[in-house]
C-alpha cells in the first residue's frame, strides 16, 4: 500500500480531522527513547584504595513511548491525502472512477460495489435471439450459421441462400430456416455433395422399365421394340405386329402370324387335267389344288362327279300308233309303225 507523504514527527503537532474526510491524520505508534536515571554506587577510593566512597552516575536505558506520525486519513491517499481510496486502490475495477472512499462510480455495464463487469447474458440472454457473448462493459449478440444479425443488433434474420447464390444447387433450391435444401428435376438424383444433380440411368434399374430395348436420356428414358413389334406409347409396351393383317409380308400363299414375325406356307398346284391324272370322263377344269369335271351337251355329270352319262331324252316321250322311241345323243327320234309318220307317229302316211 503506497502511502504518500508519511511524515512522522514525534509529537510535533496533533491534528485530528473528523474521520471520513480527506486530509492528514495522526497515527499513534509505539516508539522508544533514551531514558536516564541517577544511580548511586560505591567505589574504592583514597590512598591505596583503602577507603570506600559513594559516587553517582547517570545510567541510560531505552524506554517505551507513544509516538505519532502524520498519515493520510482513512480512505485517502496522495501527497495531499485527498485522493480517495476504493477498496485499496485509487481506481475502481475496469477503469472506473473512485469518487469517495470505497465509493465507486460505475459506468453502464459495471456494477457496484467495485464496478465488476455485469454479465448481461445472464439476464434474458442479453436480449439476443441466438448467442450472447459478454464483454467488459457490455455484451454482443451473434447468430447461428445461416443467419445474419439484424440492424437492432439482437434479432437474427435468416439468410436466403437460394437467392444469394451461396447454395450452388444444381437444379432447384429451397430455402429453409437457417439453411437450404437442393432438389433435382425429375429423372435426376441428388449426389453426395447435396448440390449436384446426377442423371438417373433408368435402363440399369430393377425392375427393367421397358419390354425390350431401353435408351437412357438425360432426365428420362425411352423404350423401343425390336423388329416385328411396335411400341404402344401409352403403355410403353411392345406389341406384336400382325404382318399377315397389315400386309407387310412377302408370303405368296398362306401367311401365319407368329410372335414378332410370320410364317409363309405354300400351295403347289398340280394340273390334274394336263397330267391326265383326273378321273373326268369328259371335260376337265384345273383348280388350285384340285379339278372339276364337266360334260358335253347331251350328257349329264353322274353322282360321282366324274362320269358323264348320256341323257335319256326318251324319258316321258310318247311315240303314238305303235311307234317306239330311240334315244340319241342330245335328242331322240320316234320309229313309226307302217302307215304312220310325224315326230310322234301321229300322222297317217299318205303313201300306201
Ligand atoms: C483502462 O484504460 C486504459 C487507458 O485508457 C486502457 O489502456 C486499458 O485497456 C483500460 N482497461 C480496461 C480494463 O478497460
Ligand atoms: C423446386 O422446389 C419447389 C419446392 O419443392 C417446387 O415447388 C418447385 O416446383 C421446384 N422447381 C423446380 C424447377 O423443380
Ligand atoms: C396401348 O395400351 C393402352 C393401355 O394399356 C391400351 O388401352 C391401348 O388399347 C393400347 N393401344 C394399342 C394400339 O395397342
Ligand atoms: C414392313 O417390314 C419391314 C421389314 O420388317 C419394315 O422395315 C417396314 O417398316 C415395315 N412396314 C410397315 C408399314 O410396317
Ligand atoms: C367341253 O370341252 C369342249 C372342248 O374343249 C368344249 O367345246 C365344251 O364347251 C366343253 N363343255 C363344257 C360343258 O364345258
Ligand atoms: C349312268 O350310267 C350307268 C351305267 O349305264 C348307270 O348305272 C347310272 O345309273 C347312270 N347314272 C345316271 C345319273 O344316269
Residue nearest to atom 7 of ligand 2 (CA): 174
- Of the ligands numbered here, which is closest to the C-alpha atom of 173? 2
The pLDDT mean for the chain works out to: 88
Q: Would you say the CB of residue 234 lies under 6 angstroms from ligand 3?
A: yes
Domains and CATH numbers, the chain: 24-84 (no CATH), 120-158 (2.10.25.10), 161-199 (2.10.25.10), 208-265 (2.10.25.10), 272-310 (2.10.25.10), 312-352 (2.10.25.10)
Residue 233: partners with Cβ closer than 8 Å, 6 or more residues away: none
Distance, C-alpha 53 to centroid of its chain = 126
**Using one digit for the tens of pLDDT, what is the confidence trace for 208-248?**
999 999 999 999 999 999 999 999 999 999 999 999 999 88
Q: Would you give the DSSP letter of residue 118?
A: P
Expressed in angstroms and rounded, the spacing between residue 230 Cα and the centre of ligand 3 is: 11
Expressed in angstroms and rounded, the spacing between residue 288 Cα and the centre of ligand 4 is: 30
**Using one digit for the tens of pLDDT, what is the confidence trace for 106-130?**
999 999 899 999 999 999 999 999 9
DSSP-assigned states of every residue in 310-331:
EP-TTTT----TT-EEEEETTE
Residue nearest to atom 1 of ligand 1 (CA): 95
Q: Which atom of ligand 5 is nearest to the CA of 297?
A: 13
Residue nearest to atom 7 of ligand 5 (CA): 296
Distance, C-alpha 191 to centroid of its chain = 9
Candidate from 162, 169, 171, 172 with most ligand 2 atoms within 8 A of CB, to mutate: 172
**Using one digit for the tens of pLDDT, what is the confidence trace for 133-147?**
999 999 999 999 999
Amino acid at each position: 500500500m503506497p502511502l504518500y507523504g508519511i511524515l512522522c514527527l514525534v509529537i510535533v503537532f496533533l491534528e485530528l480531522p473528523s474521520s471520513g474526510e480527506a486530509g492528514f491524520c495522526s497515527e499513534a505508534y509505539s516508539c522508544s527513547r533514551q531514558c536516564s536515571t541517577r544511580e548511586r554506587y560505591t567505589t574504592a577510593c583514597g590512598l591505596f584504595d583503602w577507603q570506600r566512597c559513594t559516587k553517582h552516575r547517570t545510567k541510560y536505558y531505552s524506554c517505551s513511548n507513544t509516538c505519532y506520525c502524520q498519515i493520510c486519513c482513512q480512505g485517502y491517499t496522495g501527497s495531499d491525502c485527498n485522493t480517495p481510496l476504493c477498496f485499496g486502490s485509487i481506481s475502481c475495477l475496469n477503469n472506473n472512477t473512485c469518487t469517495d472512499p470505497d465509493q465507486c462510480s460505475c459506468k453502464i455495464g459495471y456494477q457496484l460495489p467495485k464496478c465488476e463487469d455485469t454479465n448481461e447474458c445472464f439476464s434474458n440472454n442479453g436480449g439476443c435471439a441466438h448467442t450472447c457473448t459478454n464483454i467488459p462493459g457490455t455484451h454482443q449478440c451473434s447468430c447461428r450459421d445461416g443467419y445474419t444479425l439484424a440492424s437492432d443488433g439482437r434479432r437474427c434474420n435468416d439468410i436466403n441462400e437460394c437467392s444469394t447464390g451461396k447454395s450452388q444447387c444444381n437444379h432447384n433450391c429451397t430455402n429453409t430456416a437457417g439453411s437450404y435444401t437442393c432438389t433435382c428435376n425429375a429423372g435426376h438424383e441428388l449426389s453426395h455433395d447435396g448440390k449436384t444433380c446426377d442423371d438417373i440411368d433408368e435402363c440399369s434399374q430393377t425392375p427393367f422399365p421397358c419390354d425390350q430395348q431401353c435408351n437412357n436420356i438425360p432426365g428420362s428414358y425411352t423404350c423401343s421394340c425390336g423388329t416385328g413389334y411396335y411400341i404402344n406409347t401409352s403403355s410403353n409396351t411392345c406389341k406384336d405386329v400382325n404382318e399377315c393383317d397389315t400386309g407387310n409380308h412377302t408370303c405368296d400363299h398362306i401367311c401365319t402370324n407368329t410372335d414378332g414375325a410370320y410364317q409363309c406356307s405354300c400351295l403347289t398346284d398340280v394340273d390334274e387335267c394336263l397330267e391326265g391324272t383326273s378321273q373326268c370322263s369328259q371335260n376337265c377344269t384345273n383348280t388350285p389344288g384340285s379339278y372339276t369335271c364337266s360334260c358335253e351337251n347331251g350328257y349329264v355329270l353322274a353322282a360321282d362327279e366324274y362320269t358323264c352319262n348320256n341323257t335319256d331324252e326318251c324319258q316321258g316321250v310318247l311315240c303314238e300308233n305303235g311307234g317306239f322311241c330311240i334315244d340319241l345323243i342330245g335328242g331322240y327320234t320316234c320309229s313309226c309303225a307302217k302307215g304312220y309318220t310325224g315326230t310322234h307317229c301321229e300322222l297317217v302316211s299318205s303313201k300306201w
